[in-house]
Amino acid sequence: MKADITQWITGLFESWSGEKMLTLTPLPESGSYRRYYRIRGEKSTVLGAFNTDLKENDAFVYLADHLKKAGNKVPEIHAVEREKGIYLLEDLGDTTLLDLIQQQKTGLTFEQKTLNVYRQIIESMPCLQSRSAKGLDFSRCYPRPEFEYQSMHWDLNYFKYCFLKPMRIAFDEQELEDDFVKLIRFLLEAGRESFMFRDFQSRNIMLHQNALYFIDFQGGRKGPLQYDLASLLFEAKTSIPFKHKLNLLEYYLEVFRKEFSSFNPKEFMKYYYGYVYIRLMQAMGAYGFRGYIERKPLFLQSVPLAAQTLEWLVQHGSIPVSLPALFNVFDSIIQSKEIREFNIVYKSLTVSINSFSYKGIIPEDHSGNGGGFVFDCRALPNPGRYEEFKESTGTDDAVIKYLDEKEDVNEFLSHVTAIVDQAVSVYKQRGFTSLIVNFGCTGGQHRSVYAAEKLYAYLKNKYPVNIIIRHRELEKKNRI
C-alpha cells in the first residue's frame, strides 16, 4: 500500500507541475492519521497528503478555498485526486508557533517576540472567526456542521474513557454524566454563529516568509468565538504564563470591540471559562488516547502540564453552574501523584547523537551503560568530492539539498530511523536513561553531520526525550 501511495503522489505531482520528481521525503507523524510527504521537483517544492477519510479531505479542500477567499492566510491546494485520498498543497516550511516558543522560552520568561506573534494571531481572528462565517456552507463541514450538543458530548466522553479510565481516576458514572449534561446545556446558551477552527493550537500555526499561516482546519465548523481562543491560550504544551493568558484575553476583547460594535465582552466572558474547561478536557482525552491507547509517548508529556493548567483554572476560571461530580474529578487529577510524576518518567532518557571522522576514534559512551549504535555513512554520495562543497558542512543548505535529493541517502535514513525508533521506544518503556548514536564518514564534515542532524530533528518531533547532538570534527575546527 505504501508503494501505491508514493506512486500516486508522484504521478499527481508530475501531472500538476510538468516536472520530474527528484525526492519524496515522508514528514514525521503527528496526532492525525494523515501522512505528509515533501516533494521536490526540478523547480517546485510542495507537500503531498494522503488520507483515507475522503469526507475529511473534502471538508479541508472546501474550507481552504473559502478561507483563502475570505482573506485568511492558509495553504493553497494545488491538485486533488479524491478517490485516491491524495492532494498537493503549498509547502509552508517547518517552523510552527510551537517551534518559535521552544526557541524563545527561557525558564519562566516568555520572550517579547513570542508575545508579539500571539498578538498578531489575535489580530487575525476577527477575519478567521467572524468574516469567514459569511457565505460559508457549514453543511460541508465534517464530521458535524456545528459544535452543538452531540459534538460536546463526544468530547466529554473522550475525556472520560480515554483519560479518566486509563489514569484510574475514580468517578460515579451517573453523577458525572449529569454534570456533563448541565455543562453542555449551559454552553449551548452562548452564541454559535462564527467559524470555529476547532484545533486552533501552536502546531497548526506556521511562520512562513514573515507571515502567519493556519493549517489543519479540516475539523472546522460553526461554533462559538470562545472555543478557539481557549484552544490558543490554554494549550498545555505551550505553557503560556497565566499573567500573559489574561493579558492576551484582554487584547482579544479589545480587538473585537473595535472590529464589531455588536460584540459584548460581558456576554463573551460569561461562557469563556466554560469553553476553556471543555477544550482542556478534549485535549486531555487526546493525550490519553494517543499516549496510552496508540502508545505515542510524546503526547503523555503534556499530561502534567494539563494538570497544572487545570489547577489554575479551578482556582480562577469560575463558571455560573454547579458541577460537583466533575470538580471532584478535577481535584483527583490535580492531586494525583502519578500525573505529577509523568514529567520525571517521560523525560528520563537522554539520546546522545554524534558525528565523527573514521580517521579518528569512534565516540565513546560515558554513561556507564556501554553499547549504542554506529552508522557508517561512507557508502553514501560524498559532497566533499565537489569543489563547491569543500568548505561547506552538513549543516549548510547547499549540502542538505544535495543529499536530500539522493534516493540512496533517503533509504539509508529510513533504515536508521526505524532501528533507532525501536530502541528509543523500548528504552523508555524499560526506564533506561541513556542511548548513544554515532554517525561516521571520511572527514566528519558532510555526510555524518547531515545524518546526525536528520535523526535529531526526527526524534525531537516524536519523543519527549533529552537529546544532545555534537559534531566532533566541526568542533575541533571551530566551525560551529
Query: pLDDT at position 419, please?
Result: 94
> Do 203 and 213 contact (CB within 8 A), yes or no?
no
pLDDT above 70 (res 190): yes
Average pLDDT of the residues in 402-424 = 93
Taking the C-alpha atoms of residue 290 and residue 203, their distance in angstroms, rounded to an integer, is: 16
Q: Count Cβ atoms below 10 Å from residue 112 Cβ, excluding itself.
A: 9
User: Which of the residue ranges 144-148, 347-351, 354-358, 394-398 would you say has the lowest mean pLDDT?
Assistant: 347-351
Q: Which residue has the higher pLDDT, 189 or 31?
A: 189
Query: pLDDT at position 370, please?
Result: 67
Measured between its terminal Cα atoms, the distance across the chain in Å is 42
Query: pLDDT at position 350, please?
Result: 86
Query: pLDDT at position 426, please?
Result: 82
Query: pLDDT at position 3, please?
Result: 55
Query: How confident is the prediction for the chain on average, in pLDDT?
Result: 91
pLDDT above 90 (res 345): no
Query: pLDDT at position 97, please?
Result: 94
Q: To the nearest whole percent, how much of the chain has pLDDT over 70?
A: 92
Query: pLDDT at position 292, please?
Result: 78
pLDDT above 80 (res 258): yes
Q: To the nearest whole percent, how much of the chain has pLDDT over 90?
A: 75
Which residues are 26's β-sheet partners?
37
CATH architecture entry for 2-90: 2-Layer Sandwich (3.30)
Taking the C-alpha atoms of residue 57 and residue 222, their distance in angstroms, rounded to an integer, is: 18
Do the domains 2-90 and 97-345 sit in the same CATH topology, yes or no?
A: no
Backbone angles phi, psi at 40, to 5 degrees: -110, 125
Q: Which residue has the higher pLDDT, 10 or 29?
A: 10
Average pLDDT of the residues in 135-157 = 97
Q: Count Cβ atoms below 10 Å from residue 15 Cβ, excluding itself.
A: 11
Query: pLDDT at position 104, please?
Result: 65
Grouping H, G, I as helix, E, B as strand and the rest as coil, residue 214 is strand
Strands 205-208 and 86-90: unpaired
> Do 377 and 447 contact (CB within 8 A), yes or no?
yes
Looking at CATH, the fold of the domain delimited by 97-345 is given as: Aminoglycoside 3'-phosphotransferase; Chain: A, domain 2 (3.90.1200)
Backbone angles phi, psi at 254, to 5 degrees: -65, -45
Query: pLDDT at position 364, please?
Result: 81
Report which residue type is found at 125: M
Average pLDDT of the residues in 128-157 = 97
Average pLDDT of the residues in 351-370 = 84
Query: pLDDT at position 464, please?
Result: 75
143 prior amide bond cis, ω within 30: yes
Domain positions in the chain:
2-90, 97-345, 350-476
pLDDT above 50 (res 390): yes
Query: pLDDT at position 108, please?
Result: 46
| Rounded alpha-carbon distances, angstroms, from residue 20 to 24, 40, 72, 402 | 11, 9, 32, 16
Average pLDDT of the residues in 337-343 = 73
Average pLDDT of the residues in 39-59 = 96
pLDDT above 50 (res 479): no
What confidence category does residue 480 fall into, taking pLDDT thresholds of 50, 70 and 90?
very low
Query: pLDDT at position 432, please?
Result: 78
Taking the C-alpha atoms of residue 191 and residue 198, their distance in angstroms, rounded to an integer, is: 16
- Angle 196-199-200 (CA atoms, 0-180°, nearest 5)? 75
Query: pLDDT at position 109, please?
Result: 59
Query: pLDDT at position 365, please?
Result: 77
pLDDT digits (tens, 9 = 90+) for 456-471: 999 988 887 888 899 9
